[in-house]
């Protein structure tokens, strides 16, 4: 049974989806009109019957931390049902949050096995070794020896190129999983020059460009200079490892930049606030949590929804961008 916290964090929706998948698996008729209690009771009955039939039900909860919000009735029902001697079930939660289990209520945590597997992302050296292993040709292959030697030599030269390191950094910034690396290499090979039969640095850069998401970059190109200032200020605050900041904190950072660089780009607070609201509407920034809905907008904690690299690239492409913003982003670090 597969559930995703982005879609099924609501208890009623989750129990309905569990009932639907169980009915589909066992060729039973599914009732869309059944209540949440009916679906929960059906799930428990099915777990009992599967246990008696020596069949194991595996629940995979993606974005597990989103299920840990609210009253957590679904998690309690699942883990409580597993306490029965007759049921044979496993609940696997997948999350990017290391503290996902700490979000569980006491009654749910008491039924949790506390078995956790931490998958550490591969290092850049490991990823490069994987690429070399997949792209290098075997010397004992049926291809002409001269071609194999030349092909491997050119590839080795690419891997030692500083530009390749930048491509690798950009690729792993967004997704360093093996599956994403394989998709990238597939695109690299598809850009190979068919006449020469060799890979070039352009194959890697073109493959990266085709994989990078453009909507955010397009949104960044349309921003005003003031909005770019706000994004750079937020980026600076996050670089300083400031855990929580709001509009007022951003304005203090903005003022410190004006005082330090004596720029002519000075705007009134009311104008800055309208630009801040516009960034929220464009979903380039968002609120850090949902706790302060009744708090005034300027006091609510916010966070960036774009990476430092995306911001740096947009500043580079923006012809009206002040030079001071480029300096503030520390280009050597990100580009």
What pLDDT, in 10s, does the model give residues 116-138?
A: 998 888 888 999 999 999 999 99
Nearest to 48 by CA among 90, 91, 88, 1: 88
Is the full-model pTM beyond 0.75? no
Strand partners, 3: 61
What pLDDT, in 10s, does the model give residues 5-17?
A: 988 888 889 999 9
Q: Per the CATH hierarchy, to which homologous superfamily does domain 2-110 belong?
A: P-loop containing nucleotide triphosphate hydrolases (3.40.50.300)
Start-end of CATH 3.40.50.300 domains in the chain:
2-110
Stated as kind and residue range, the H or E segment containing 303 is strand 302-304
What pLDDT, in 10s, does the model give residues 158-190?
A: 999 999 999 999 888 878 888 889 999 999 999
Start-end of CATH 1.10.10.10 domains in the chain:
217-331
Is it true that domain 217-331 has CATH number 1.10.10.10? yes
Instruction: Give 179-185 contacts, CB < 8 A, sequence gap 24+.
Output: 181/127, 181/130, 181/131, 182/134, 183/211, 184/208, 184/211, 185/131, 185/134, 185/135
């Amino acid at each position: 049974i597969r559930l995703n916290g982005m879609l099924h964090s609501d208890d009623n929706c989750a129990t309905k989806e569990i009932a639907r998948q169980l009915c589909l698996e066992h060729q039973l008729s599914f009732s869309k009109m059944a209540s949440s209690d009916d679906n929960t009771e059906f799930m428990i009955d099915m777990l009992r019957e599967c246990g008696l039939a020596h069949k194991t039900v595996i629940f995979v909860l993606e974005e597990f931390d989103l299920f840990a919000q609210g009253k957590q009735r679904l998690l309690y029902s699942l883990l409580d049902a597993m306490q029965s001697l007759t049921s044979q079930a496993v609940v696997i939660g997948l999350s990017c949050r290391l503290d996902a289990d700490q979000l569980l209520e006491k009654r749910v945590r008491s039924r949790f096995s506390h078995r956790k597997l931490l998958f550490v992302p591969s290092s850049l050296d490991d990823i490069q070794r994987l690429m070399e292993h997949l792209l290098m040709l075997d010397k004992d292959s049926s291809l002409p020896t001269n071609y194999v030697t030349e092909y491997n030599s050119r590839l080795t030269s690419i891997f030692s190129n500083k530009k390749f390191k930048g491509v690798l950094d950009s690729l792993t910034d967004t997704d360093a999983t093996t599956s994403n690396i394989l998709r990238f290499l597939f695109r690299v090979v598809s850009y190979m020059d068919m006449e020469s039969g060799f890979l070039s640095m352009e194959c890697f850069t073109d493959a990266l460009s085709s994989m990078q998401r453009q909507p955010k970059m397009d949104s960044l190109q349309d921003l005003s200079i003031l909005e770019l200032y706000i994004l750079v200020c937020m980026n600076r605050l996050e670089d300083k490892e400031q855990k929580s900041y709001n509009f007022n904190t951003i304005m203090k950072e903005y003022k410190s930049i004006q005082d330090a660089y004596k720029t002519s780009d000075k705007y009134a607070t009311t104008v800055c606030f309208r630009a801040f609201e516009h960034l929220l509407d464009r979903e380039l920034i968002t609120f850090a949590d949902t706790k302060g809905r009744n708090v005034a907008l300027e006091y609510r904690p916010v966070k960036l929804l774009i990476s430092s690299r995306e911001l740096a690239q947009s500043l580079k492409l923006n012809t009206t961008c002040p030079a001071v913003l480029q300096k503030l982003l520390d280009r050597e670090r990100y580009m």
